[in-house]
Structure 1
Amino acid sequence: MSAQDYEMVVGLEVHAQLTTKTKLFCSDATHFGESPNTQVSVVSLAHPGTLPVMNRGAIDLALRLGLALNCDIVRHNYFARKNYFYPDLPKGYQISQHTAPICQNGYVEINVDGKEKKVRLNRIHMEEDAGKSVHDASEQYTGIDLNRAGIPLLEIVTEPDLGSSAEAYAYVSELRSILRYLNVCDGNMEQGRLRCDVNISVRKKGDPKLGTKVEIKNLNSIRFIRKAIEVEKERLIALVESGGTVLQQTRGYDEVTNTTYAIRTKEDADDYRYFADPDLPPFHITDEMIEAVRSAMPPSRKQRVEALQQEFGLSDYDTNALAADTGLEALFRGIAQHTSNTKAAANWVLNPIRNKMVEAELSSDELAIAPEAIATLIRYIDEKKTTHGIAVQKVLPALFEDGKMDVAQYLESNNLLLSDNSSELDGWIQTVLDKYPQKVTEFKKGKKGLIGFFVGEAMRMARGKADAQAITDKFTEKLKG
Structure 2
Amino acid sequence: MEFEPVIGLEVHAQLKTKTKIFCGCSTSFGAPPNTHTCPVCLGMPGVLPVLNKKVVEYTLRMALATDCDISPNSRFARKNYFYPDLPKGYQISQYEQPIAQNGYIDIEIEGEKKRIGITRIHMEEDAGKLSHDPDRPLSMVDFNRTGVPLIEIVGEPDIGSPEEAGEYLRQLRAIVRYLGICDGNMEEGSFRCDANVSIKPRGSETLGTRTELKNLNSFKHVEKALTFEINRQKDILADGGRVVQETRLWDPDKNRTTSMRSKEEAPDYRYFPDPDLLPLVIDDEWIEAVKKNRPELPAKKRERFVDEYKLPANDAGILTSSRELADYFEECLKTFPDPKQVSNWIMGSLLGLLNAQGKTIAESPILAQDLAQLLKLIADGVISGKIAKTVFDEMAQSKRPPKEIVAEKGLVQVTDKKAIEAVVLEVLARSAQEVEAYKGGKTKLLGYFVGQVMQATKGKANPKIVNQLLKAKLET
TM-score interval, smaller chain: 0.7 to 0.9
Give CA-to-partner distance per residue, 1:301-347, whole Å, 9 cap, x none: 6885798799xx62375796555753431231343356454441134
The answer to which of 370-379 and 207-216 deviates more is 370-379
CA drift of 1:213 comes to 2.2
Seen in structure 2, the aligned counterparts of structure 1 residues 365 and 129 have a Cα distance that, compared at 3 Å, is: farther
Q: Give the match for residue 65 of structure 1.
A: 62
Q: Which amino acid aligns with 1:144?
A: V
Matched, 1:454 2:451: no
Q: Which letter does structure 2 place at the counterpart of 1:315?
A: K
For 1:237, the equivalent position in structure 2 comes to 234
SS in 1 for 2:222: helix
Q: Closer, same or farther in 2 for the Cα pair 1:131/1:302, shift >3 Å?
A: closer
Confirm or deny that 1:45 pairs with 2:42. Answer: yes
Cα contact 1:106–1:122 (8 A) shared by 2: yes
More displaced stretch, 267-276 vs 195-204: 195-204
Residues 173, 363 of structure 1: 8 Å contact kept: no
| Distance of aligned partners of 1:229 and 1:365 in 2 relative to their CA distance in 1, 3 Å threshold | farther
C-alpha offsets along residues 101-153 of structure 1, whole Å, 9 cap, x if unaligned? 21112222333334333322111111111111121387242111111111110
1:275 maps to 272
Q: What does residue 435 of structure 1 align with?
A: 434
Contact 1:72 1:105 in 2 (8 A): yes
Alpha-carbon spacing, 1:338–1:190, altered in 2? closer, same or farther (3 Å):
farther
1:129 alignment counterpart: 126
Pair 1:456–1:294, CA change in 2 (3 A): same
Is 1:200–2:197 an aligned residue pair? yes
Query: What are the residue-to-residue correspondences of 1:68-217 with 2, within 5 Å?
Result: 68-136=65-133, 139-217=136-214
Percent identity of paired positions between Structure 1 and Structure 2: 38
Cα distance change on mapping 1:233 and 1:283 into 2, 3 Å: same
CA shift digits 1:335-372 (9 cap, x unpaired):
335645444113444x5479979x99x99879857444
Q: Residues 174 and 298 of structure 2 are in contact (CA less than 8 Å); yes or no, is this contact kept in structure 1?
A: no
Number of the residue aligned with 2:472: 477
The 8 Å contact of residues 79 and 97 in structure 1, kept in 2 or not, is answered as: yes
Is residue 201–residue 213 contact of structure 1 (8 Å, CA) maintained in 2? yes
Where 2:309 maps in the other structure, the secondary structure is: coil
C-alpha distance in 1 between matches for 2:326 and 2:138: 49
Code of the residue aligned with 2:128 in structure 1: it is G
What is the CA-CA distance between 1:66 and the residue it aligns to? 0.6
Find the counterpart in structure 2 of residue 14 from structure 1.
11
Residue 243 and residue 151 in structure 1: after superposition, are their counterparts in 2 closer, same or farther (change >3 A)? same
CA contact (8 A) 1:332 1:371 kept: no
Q: CA RMSD in A?
A: 4.2
The SS at the match of 1:22 is coil
Sort the Cα spacing of 1:353 and 1:71 in 2 relative to 1 into closer, same or farther, 3 A: farther
Check whether the contact 2:378–2:388 (CA below 8 A) recurs between aligned residues. no
| Counterparts of 2:146 and 2:204, CA distance in 1 | 43
Structure 1 residue 155, shift from structure 2 partner: 0.4
Question: Is the alpha carbon distance of 1:160 and 1:6 closer, same or farther for their aligned partners in structure 2, counting shifts above 3 Å?
Answer: same
Q: CA deviation at 1:41?
A: 1.7
Which of 255, 260, 280 matches 2:257? 260
The answer on whether the counterparts of 1:80 and 1:274 sit within 8 Å (CA) in structure 2 is yes
Q: Which residue of 2 aligns with 1:446?
A: none
1:365, 1:249 → 2: CA distance? 41
1:290 CA drift (Å): 0.8
Aligned counterparts of 1:369 and 1:170: Cα–Cα separation in 2? 30
Contact 1:455 1:468 in 2 (8 A): no
Inter-partner Cα distance in structure 2 for 1:99 and 1:403: 56
- Deviation string 1:36-74 (CA, Å, 9 cap, x unpaired) is 112222222222232222222211111111111211111
Equivalent-residue separation in structure 1 for 2:184 and 2:118 (angstroms): 19
Deviations 1:183-219 (A, max 9, x none): 2112222222111112223345444433322222142
Q: CA shift at 1:376, angstroms?
A: 6.5
Aligned partner of residue 202 in structure 1, secondary structure? strand
- What is the CA–CA distance in structure 1 between the aligned matches of 2:450 and 2:222, rounded to whole Å? 45
Alignment of 1:315 with 2:315, yes or no, is: no
Aligned match of 1:447: none
Aligned counterpart, 2:282 = 285
Instruction: Pick closer, same or farther for the CA change 1:306–1:431 going to 2, 3 Å.
Output: same
Instruction: Give the deviation of 1:86 after TM superposition.
Output: 0.7
SS in 1 for 2:25: coil
Contact 2:25 2:37 in 1 (8 A): yes
Does the Cα contact within 8 Å between 1:304 and 1:323 map onto a contact in 2? yes
> How far did residue 7 of structure 1 move?
3.6
Specify whether residues 302 and 87 from structure 1 end up closer, same or farther in structure 2 by C-alpha distance, changes over 3 A only: closer
Check conservation: 1:177, 1:327, Cα contact below 8 A. no
Structure 1: which amino acid aligns with 2:182? C
- CA distance change for structure 1 residues 74 and 475 in 2, over 3 Å: closer, same or farther? same
Report if the CA contact (8 A) 1:458-1:471 is conserved: no
* Contact 1:418–1:467 (8 Å) recurs in 2: no
SS in 1 for 2:29: coil
SS at structure 2 position matched to 1:149: coil
Kept in 2, the 8 Å contact 1:81–1:93? The answer is yes
Q: Deviations over 1:399-424 (max 9, x none)?
A: 9xx89878979x99xxxx99969466
1:244 deviates by 3.5
Q: How far apart, in 2, do the equivalents of 1:162 and 1:354 lie?
A: 34
Specify the alignment match of 1:445 in structure 2. Answer: none
Contact preservation (8 Å) 2:449, 2:470: no
**Conservation of the 8 A alpha-carbon contact between 2:213 and 2:250:** yes
Amino acid at match of 1:434: Q
Cα deviation, residue 31, structure 1: 1.8
| Contact 2:175/2:298, CA 8 A, preserved across alignment | no
3-state SS, counterpart of residue 177 of structure 1: helix
Inter-partner Cα distance in structure 2 for 1:355 and 1:78: 45
